[in-house]
Structure formats: C-alpha cells, structure tokens
Amino acid sequence: MIDARLISPTDLTELRASDAPLTVLDVRWRLDRPDGRPEYEAGHIPGAVYVSLDDELAAHGDATDGRHPLPAIADLQTAARRWGIDKGDTVVVYDDWLSFGAARAWWVLTDAGVPDVRLLDGGLAAWRQAGLPLATGEESAARGDIALTPGHRRRLDIDEAAGLPERGVLLDVRAPERYRGESEPIDPRAGHIPGARNLPVGGNLDADGRFLPAEQLRARFAAQGVEDDTELGLYCGSGVSAAQAVFAARLAGLAPALYVGSWSQWSNHADRPVATGDSA
C-alpha cells in the first residue's frame, strides 16, 4: 500500500528549485466555503494549480450515495491531466483547513495509482509562516500524461461498514456532538453507526496544524482499541475529513480502510439503524 508522506515548506522550496518533475495542487475547501477558488486567486504557492474538491475529487450522485462519492476514474484522469500531472511526477497537495482537502486529494490520487503524493505539513499557514512567497490570480499547467487505475487503497462499502464493529474497530472521526446525535447541521439523521467509536479528527494535529509525531498518533488509535493487527475503518460526514484520519493512521503505521460514503450515505438509508449518545 502507498504510504502517507509529508513534506515541509523548506523541502518543497528545494524541490521546486530542482529539476525534479513536480505538480503542486491547491485544494482549498471548507464546509461553509466549498469553492476555494477566490482564496486561491488571492494568494497561493507559486505554480500551484487549483483543484475543486466538490467537482473534481467527487462525483454528484443520489443522496443515497453520500455527499462526496468518488469520481469516475475517467473523469479523474481528465482532471489530473488538466492539472498537469505526468507519469513520474511528485505531486504535492495542500489546503488551509486542517489538511482536509489535501488529504482527500492524497487519498483519491493514491487510490488511483499515483505513486508519489506528498501532503504539505501545516498547509498554507506553514508556508506563510516560513516567509515564503505567494502568487495571485489563476495558473494553468501543460496537459499531463498520467494514466490512472482505481482500487489501490482499502475502502468499505455500506454493508462492510455495518459489519466491521463485530470483527474490528470502526471509528467515527466527526465532532463529539455530531457523533452523539446532539447536533446534525447537514445530514438527514443525527447519531452514528451502531458499534462505531468516536475519535475526533482534529486531534491528529498540533496547535500549528501539523500532524502529531507517529508515536502520539499511534497512542490516539491505541486508546480506542486499535492494535497493529486490528481491522480498522474510518468514516466522517462525507469521506473528506476521514481521509485526513486515514493519512494520520498511515503515519502511525496502521492500515485503515475508508468508508467513502460515510454518515451522509448511511443517514440517507432509512433502513439503517442509528445509535446516539456516547456508547458505541
């Protein structure tokens, strides 16, 4: 399985200055501002191409598919070539919100067989804190030649997610109040998948938005009963922030599966049971 890889602003600067084949992708996305293009145009890492998470890293299907189902591989390949990804490129992804958008790009691209995708640790804030320059406006790239194939990462469908708590650990990485069913601002039902435990995804990062050291990440998962041989699944609202949790678990040396449909799919199936409160 392709491992999670971080890159620092300093190392990215050196990579940009070298002759190494490189594509940098800006994946600005937030729940309240899903279109990050205005922020991208106001200031981005020089040479970075903007990626629309909603339109290029997700498909648009029925509500029962969830809010961010995976794009068709042909559509993803068309987008990736537009971004300028060539065979052999190092691809660096970043965002400005808890590495959610960047991790979604990392998961989707590595699942499609791109071998070297690195996540900028600390995101755009780390780049700015390092005093590095920004570019404005829109940038485009020469058409790439990457060829994609799906299915390189572990994933769960809705039935597999339902059965996982009986044989492993299923972690809901949303905020505790959403897990408990006290608040649900987006999806049709509140609560969590029966048997799932709660491990909020924000805890994978330090105060500067950088990923915790591997041993601390391992301790977070271990506190929820996850060991090296545990079958582990992760889900969130729509498969975006859980991709960040998958990245963190990979840094910790674990081999998780992503339930891509996540709560947005589960809660749209009226026949699926819902648990509330702190109990799994």
**6 Cα distance to chain centroid:** 13
The catalytic residue among 217, 236, 243, 254 is: 236
Tokens coding 31: 């729940």
For 203, other C-beta atoms within 10 Å of its C-beta total 14
DSSP letter, residue 247: H
Active site residue 200: no
User: Could you give the CA distance from residue 210 to residue 121 in angstroms, rounded to a whole number?
Assistant: 5
Dump strand ranges (E) for the chain.
Answer: 6-7, 22-26, 49-50, 90-94, 117-120, 155-156, 169-172, 197-198, 232-235, 257-259
Closest CA to 234 of 213, 211, 252: 252
Among 245, 238, 253, 254, CA closest to 168: 254
CB-based contact 258:154 (threshold 8 Å): yes
- Catalytically active residues are 236
